[in-house]
């Protein structure tokens, strides 16, 4: 993988951790997610005329991805309701890399080197270790939070593979990304309104800045990742994106006052080892 692409995906991971932290501060997760999705729609609609629409071959993949993302957001929201950011976020993201690598190998025909597999495995192990929650550790994880986090991981695997294939078929990575966020935002808001009615959007007038910030980070994060998937294996890009848990852990400790324990330090070292192996593969 080229150095520029490698660093760009790490920046995308930082953006991903940022909008996930916004979900967990101040509002019910469903409302916060709906607001950020609306922010992403606004950002995407402004940029889409400049990027243009993706090619016709990409539209079936876009439709499939939009459907998967509804389940992704639903699982993520319920996971955040049941557990804290430092527990849920690493589990949801950490279980996905090996799933995605396997799916990309079976369904897309990608082949990774032994070093690449080792790097993904080390990164995934580090991410999962970050789920050690305060002093309670891995043996006291909330079962409901774990169930929803693992369900979310399955959806992450599914949309990563679908979008990786779709963006390559589109011939227009920016257009694919922006179209996806318009569709995702609309479907997610409809889902939120079906759950809680129009009142789910009541905070929008006073929180529109947060919505736009979170939406911009969403678009930038996934847009960079999809662009990278046109230049590198889907599994490698998807795994690198999960380094967002390091940024998420830092946010959880610094802003949400969650404890920093030795397990999280060890996890960070594992993730760094995984990054080195992926970079060398």
Q: What is the DSSP letter of 24?
A: T
pLDDT digits (tens, 9 = 90+) for 111-133: 888 999 999 999 888 887 876 55
Q: Is the pLDDT of residue 172 over 90?
A: yes
Using CA atoms, how far apart are residues 237 and 240, in angstroms rounded to an integer? 5
264: its two tokens: 């999280």
- Find the mean pLDDT for residues 147-157: 90
Residue 24 has pLDDT above 70, yes or no: no
Separation CA 11–CA 243 (nearest Å)? 10
- How far is CA 116 from each of CA 45, 132, 188, 190, rounded to the nearest angstrom? 37, 26, 35, 40
Q: Which of 74-78, 81-85, 268-272 has the lowest mean pLDDT?
A: 81-85
3-class DSSP assignment, residue 74: helix
CA distances from 145 to 32, 55, 78, 205 (A): 18, 39, 8, 31
Domain around 9: 3-280
Predicted confidence band of residue 141 (pLDDT cuts 50, 70, 90): low
Buried b (16+ CB within 10 A) or exposed e, 172-194: bbbbbbbbbbbbbbebbbebbee
Structure confidence at residue 134 (pLDDT):
45
- Which is higher by pLDDT, 58 or 25? 58
The pLDDT value given to residue 131: 65
pLDDT number for residue 227: 96
Q: Which of 153, 151, 165 is nearest to 104 (CA)?
A: 165
Over residues 201-216, the mean pLDDT reads: 86
Query: Residue 57's closest CA among 172, 160, 225, 183?
Result: 172
User: What whole-number distance in Å separates Cα of residue 242 and Cα of residue 255?
Assistant: 20
> Which tokens sit at 87?
């527990």
Picking from 264, 271, 188, 208, the residue whose alpha carbon sits closest to that of residue 43 is: 208
Query: Of 41, 28, 21, 27, whose CA–CA distance to 86 is shortest?
Result: 21
Tally of domains within the chain? 1
Q: Each residue of 262-277: pLDDT tens digit?
A: 777 788 788 888 888 8
If DSSP codes are grouped into helix, strand and coil, which group holds residue 259? coil
- The token duo for 245 is 């848990």
Pure H helices in the chain: 3-23, 29-51, 59-82, 85-94, 96-103, 114-129, 143-170, 173-196, 204-229, 234-241, 244-254, 262-280
Residues 227-264 have pLDDT tens digits of 999 999 999 999 998 887 777 777 767 766 666 677 77
Q: For 18-22, 34-38, 170-174, 198-202, which range has the lowest pLDDT when averaged over its residues? A: 18-22
Return the DSSP state at 139: G
């Amino acid at each position: 993988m080229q150095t520029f692409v490698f660093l760009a995906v790490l920046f995308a991971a930082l953006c991903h951790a940022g909008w996930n932290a916004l979900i967990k501060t101040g509002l019910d997760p469903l409302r916060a997610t709906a607001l950020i999705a609306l922010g992403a729609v606004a950002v995407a609609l402004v940029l889409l005329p400049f990027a243009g629409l993706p090619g016709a071959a990409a539209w079936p993949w876009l439709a499939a991805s939009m459907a998967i993302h509804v389940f992704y957001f639903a699982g993520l929201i319920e996971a955040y309701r049941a557990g804290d950011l430092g527990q849920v976020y690493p589990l949801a993201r950490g279980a996905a890399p090996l799933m995605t690598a396997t799916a990309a190998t079976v369904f897309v025909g990608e082949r990774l080197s032994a070093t690449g597999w080792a790097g993904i495995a080390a990164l995934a192990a580090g991410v999962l270790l970050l789920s050690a929650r305060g002093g309670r550790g891995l043996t006291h994880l909330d079962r409901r939070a774990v169930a929803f986090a693992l369900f979310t991981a399955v959806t992450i695997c599914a949309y990563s593979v679908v979008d990786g294939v779709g963006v390559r078929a589109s011939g227009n990575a920016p257009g694919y990304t922006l179209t996806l966020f318009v569709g995702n935002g609309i479907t997610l808001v409809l889902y939120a309104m079906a759950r809680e009615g129009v009142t789910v959007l009541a905070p929008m007038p006073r929180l529109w800045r947060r919505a736009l910030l979170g939406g911009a980070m969403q678009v930038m994060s996934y847009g960079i990742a999809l662009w990278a998937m046109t230049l590198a294996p889907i599994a490698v890009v998807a795994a690198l994106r999960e380094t967002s848990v390091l940024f998420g852990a830092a946010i959880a400790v610094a802003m949400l006052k969650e404890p920093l324990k030795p397990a999280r330090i060890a996890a960070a070292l594992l993730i760094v080892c995984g990054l080195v192996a992926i970079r060398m593969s």
